[in-house]
Chain A
């Protein structure tokens, strides 16, 4: 049996103007990325990448997302990320954080990254309730979608 190799790309979305949350979901992000693949690599690139392409995780608060693509299409995705300046209707750019072969490794990296983010944000919240909410929102890694 042939094993299909995937690559998981962890990216951070950096908006031009600082905002608390991005009005972004998996489908908007996915549509934006595929549109740009078509723009820069044409119908051939889109056809190659479409199979197995999926946004696995998208956190509006920390602005982190995990993109899954097939192994041989990784170059197409990672090379267009710096060229994207508009995501949905938000003017923003992508920062590639990590490229992994398994979603577990990607999760480990994101948890580490989110812990650093939490350390920074905890100092800025006033009440204990807010801190708990923030912790819950940041650390949720809902991969079921």
Chain B
């Protein structure tokens, strides 16, 4: 069985009106970052989006456990989304599923 790591990420943009915020574009952005920093072999992982809220600008997604550090580093290093300056803030990471409303309920989560 594959063990996963869950991420709760907040997206912050300089100009929110000029970006199209969709799960597909977000996934592409993270995967591009992974490939740029860790290459085709090192950055090849499956990123599954669990929850996505364009209004709250928050995403919950999961990656296999062994890609936790690399994904974490890649998210921190993202500086542009559709050529708009941005930064993604990792609010929480957990070994168990995360949700927007279940804040603070999870015992295994690591709050940042």
Contact = CB atoms under 8 A, between A and B. Distances in A.
Interface stretch (A39-47, A62-70, A90-98): A39-47
B38 to A, nearest CB: 4
Interface stretch (B22-30, B39-47, B85-93): B39-47
- Size category, A interface: 10 to 19
Interface residues of B, number: 9
Contacts of B43: 42
B12 interface: no
A38 interface: yes
Contacts of B39: 37-42, 44-45
Nearest to A46: B39
B36 A40 contact: no
Contacts of B37: 42-44
B41 A43 contact: no
A9 B35 CA distance: 27
B40 A45 contact: no
Most chain B CB within 10 A, of A37, A38, A42, A79, is at A42
Contacts of A37: 39
Interface in B10-68: 35-43
Interface of B: 35-43
Interface of A: 37-45, 79
12 contacts: A37-B39, A40-B40, A41-B39, A41-B41, A42-B35, A42-B36, A42-B38, A42-B42, A43-B36, A43-B37, A45-B38, A45-B39
